[in-house]
Amino acid sequence: MRAMQDTLQDKSTGHDALTGRPVISATGLFTPEESISNEELVASFNEYVERFNAANADAITAGDVEALAPSSTEFIEKASGIKARHVMSKDPILNPDIMTPRWEERGNDEHSMMAEIGVIAARQALERAGRDAGDVDAVLCAASNMERAYPAMAIEIQQALGIDGFGFDMNVACSSATFGIQTAADYIRGGNAKSVLVVSPEITSGHLNWRDRDSHFIFGDVATAVLVEDAAIAPEAHWEILGTKLKTVFSNNIRNNFGFLNRAVPENAGNADKLFVQEGRKVFKEVVPMVAQMIIDESARLGLDPTLLRRLWLHQANAGMNRLIAQRVLGHEANDDESPTVLDTYGNTSSAGSIIAFHKHSDDLGANDTGLICSFGAGYSAGTVFVRKT
Ligand code: COA
């Protein structure tokens, strides 16, 4: 490892500096303009339920069809902490005849949607770091769905930003961003790159079943970017990456069967299992202890006292899960300052959630404050990134 930490001319200061130490130089965030409140969402869902039950009244009375139950804003807020979510295509989602986002298919000469919003977030991260795109070596597009099979979204983003290097896509569902950060950090540690963009465009509205009462309120759209760099070239104000840890354990409790092989099975097209489905209760019960233990074990490995972590930027899936995980890690009930949430306005944005929390709630911390970016989700998958402000 020491061999990799040879000295290098610092591009910004001209000084020699150690290399091989990964840091977060800056983050970027794209938030769609449109937003759907719980009230709007539930009104449209309940209109759909009424229409369905009226259209199927005879079959429901005969016991051949099950009546649909209405949704409620009180349930949504209490069960999840979500009050609203941003989306890329509001009207069709709220139209009880459609209830899915719709957009024009784009031509090959236009930027795809994921690349477009990923580039906006990436540009912001570069600007905040004072970094020229020409100095970036690699782009990882780390997200829970890719808009197409190939060419990789990351390569389109790389081209749009004018980066001379390489890019590839990676999908680890809600943990994609932290898995991307560790991958980027490993490129730095290994000396294969000095500046890596981890971009997470999450258009989750496209894989959510807006007609499913159990989950129609969960997701929102967004894009984030994290610039992971070698300390030697990073801007003066940055976050040292103290350690990263990844874990996966197979589970069917969060699943989406959409895939290119489904095309050969026409009768399956449009089935609900080709969208997001979950056993929410089981996820809650199984993931909370797994993640809390992982954080505690990783803290010990890094010689950190978890109860002294200044802030936890946890995956934003559910307020209750975060409350429990934070309590187990910190040893007391966390307040908003210790474990900030963005669930109320963004909903669950899959892999982008913990990065939004970090982006919006990290400027106020002081030098040497230590915190944790942590994701968890389908797979199961979980990732921790311990950081310290310089
Ligand atoms: N409106 C009103 N009531 C609803 C409802 C809705 N939209 N959806 C479900 N309910 C009802 C259910 O019918 C059930 O009623 P019953 O007790 O009479 O049977 C009750 O609310 C509880 O349902 P349940 O699904 O068990 O809710 P929950 O308390 O487990 O909360 C989740 C649901 C999804 C919010 C919760 O399980 C969760 O957050 N799990 C983890 C999810 C997660 O993080 N997934 C990762 C995705 S990346």
3-class secondary-structure state, position 13: coil
Residue 270, φ and ψ in degrees, nearest 5: 85, -5
Mutate to test the pocket of ligand 1, among 39, 49, 214 (most ligand atoms within 8 A of CB): 214
Inform me whether the pLDDT recorded for 17 exceeds 70: no
Which residue stretches of 133-175 are H helix?
Answer: 153-161
Q: Whose CA is nearest to atom 24 of ligand 1?
A: 281
Q: For residue 263, what pLDDT is reported?
A: 73
- Interaxial angle between packed helices 73-80 and 38-55, expressed in degrees from 0 to 180 and rounded to the nearest 10: 130
Ligand 1 interacting residues, C-beta cut-off 6 A: 71-72, 75-76, 79-80, 174, 213-214, 254, 278, 280-281, 283-284, 317-318, 321, 348, 377-378
Q: For residue 262, what pLDDT is reported?
A: 82
Q: For residue 267, what pLDDT is reported?
A: 64
Inform me whether the pLDDT recorded for 310 exceeds 90: yes
Angstrom distance (rounded) from CA 206 to CA 209: 8
Strand partners, 99: none
Q: Whose CA is nearest to atom 39 of ligand 1?
A: 318
Inform me whether the pLDDT recorded for 9 exceeds 50: no
**Cα 276 to middle of ligand 1, angstroms:** 14
Angstrom distance (rounded) from CA 216 to CA 348: 11
pLDDT digits (tens, 9 = 90+) for 180-197: 999 999 999 999 999 999
pLDDT digits (tens, 9 = 90+) for 200-230: 999 999 999 999 999 999 999 999 999 999 9
385, 181 contact by CB (below 8 A): yes
Contacts 24+ apart (CB under 8 A), 16-19: 17/231, 17/232, 18/231, 18/232, 19/191, 19/194, 19/230, 19/231, 19/232
Inform me whether the pLDDT recorded for 13 exceeds 60: no
Tell me which amino acid residue 284 is: F
pLDDT digits (tens, 9 = 90+) for 83-136: 999 999 999 999 999 999 999 999 999 999 999 999 999 999 999 999 999 999
Angstrom distance (rounded) from CA 75 to CA 84: 13
3-class secondary-structure state, position 183: helix
**Cα 50 to middle of ligand 1, angstroms:** 21
Angstrom distance (rounded) from CA 147 to CA 233: 33
The arithmetic mean of pLDDT across residues 15-27, rounded, is 80
CA distances (Å), 273 to each of 40, 204, 259, 276, in order?
26, 15, 11, 7
**Cα 305 to middle of ligand 1, angstroms:** 34
How many percent of the chain have pLDDT more than 90? 91
Pick the closest to residue 33 from 220, 218, 177 (CA basis).
220
Confidence bin at 11 (pLDDT 50/70/90): very low
Q: For residue 218, what pLDDT is reported?
A: 97
pLDDT digits (tens, 9 = 90+) for 254-266: 999 998 888 766 6
Q: For residue 16, what pLDDT is reported?
A: 43
Q: For residue 306, what pLDDT is reported?
A: 97
228, 125 contact by CB (below 8 A): no
Q: For residue 273, what pLDDT is reported?
A: 86
Considering the chain, what is the average pLDDT of its residues?
Answer: 93
**Cα 320 to middle of ligand 1, angstroms:** 12
* pTM for the whole structure: 0.93
Angstrom distance (rounded) from CA 298 to CA 301: 5
DSSP 8-class letter at 172? B
Q: For residue 3, what pLDDT is reported?
A: 37
Q: Whose CA is nearest to atom 12 of ligand 1?
A: 214
Pick the closest to residue 387 from 238, 271, 286, 246 (CA basis).
238
Q: Which two tokens stand for residue 227?
A: 């610039």
Q: For residue 271, what pLDDT is reported?
A: 77
How many percent of the chain have pLDDT more than 70? 94
